[in-house]
Amino acid sequence: MLPISIIVPCYNAAATLARTLESCLIQPEAAQIIVVDDGSADDSMAIVRQYGERDARVGLLPMPVNGGAARARNWGALHADQPLLAFIDADDEYFPAALAAASLYLEQHPAEAAIRLDVEFSGFPADITTHSAFDSLGATLSNTVPSSLVIRRAAFAALGGFPMDAFFRRNGGEDGAFSWALRELFGNQRLVDSKRVRMHYHARIHAERYFRIFMGMQQARPEDVAESFRLSEVFVEAAKANLAQLRALSAPAPEAATTHPT
């Protein structure tokens, strides 16, 4: 199995962080678990330290200042030392053997850059979960949320990480931009045979707004839609340019061996 570094962005997540870490610790493929503290003012850091004393795989990486989830994920990825990266939010959790399935898939498909895990949406309001479009919209969301992603570290670096625009930080959508670029450049496959990640509902979660907008229960501001699309397109084009530049580079030819008479 290919080992994995798990990146956990954390901001004031003391109420849910232990549950997330427990779900990470039961994944044998998790060789490194980096909790990136994004300026928490609660007991989050103390919880991470307690888990670090219990299991050496768990490490705390503080952010210099609060920078948002995308910046925290990127900061964690820079400190990862395993060939695969997985991202899970501090209020989500993995099911047992979730990362085994991802690791095995990428081991058996060496030309694939990433794999998605199917997401279970837990505790969401009944008017969402009983809607006729819930399953199809949930499948689409499973293809974008960071907690579903397992990706080769080199591919993540080539894409440039998650976009860190201030607009995305306020409104969400950086995960959608990243997924668009991933799909365009490498493909965005998902394991659909089983639910392997649980997203827990909480007030003001971006996923609720996504469901309500696409179910016709809530209106999105046209200017926000336009800006999200514009920034996403800019990110995708930059990722394409980065990858094209990498592919155009050539390794230097090995120097010819020289022999010296004895």
pLDDT per residue as tens, the chain (262 positions)? 899 999 999 999 999 999 999 999 999 999 999 999 999 999 999 999 999 999 999 999 999 899 999 999 999 999 999 999 999 999 999 999 999 999 999 999 999 999 999 999 999 999 999 999 999 999 999 999 999 999 999 999 999 999 999 999 999 999 999 999 999 999 999 999 999 999 999 988 999 999 999 999 999 999 999 999 999 999 999 999 999 999 999 878 776 555 555 4
* Helix (H) or strand (E) segment spanning residue 36: strand 30-37
| Spans of all domains in the chain | 4-245
243: helix, coil or strand?
Answer: helix
State pTM to two decimals: 0.93
Sole residue written with tokens 């199995």: 1
Handedness of CA 52, 142, 152, 159 (dihedral sign): negative
CATH fold, domain 4-245, is Spore Coat Polysaccharide Biosynthesis Protein SpsA; Chain A (3.90.550)
How far apart are the C-alpha atoms of 194 and 119, rounded to whole Å?
9
Beta-sheet pairing, 190-200 with 149-152? unpaired
> What's the Cα-to-Cα distance from 220 to each of 152, 168, 185, 216, rounded to whole Å?
34, 14, 28, 10
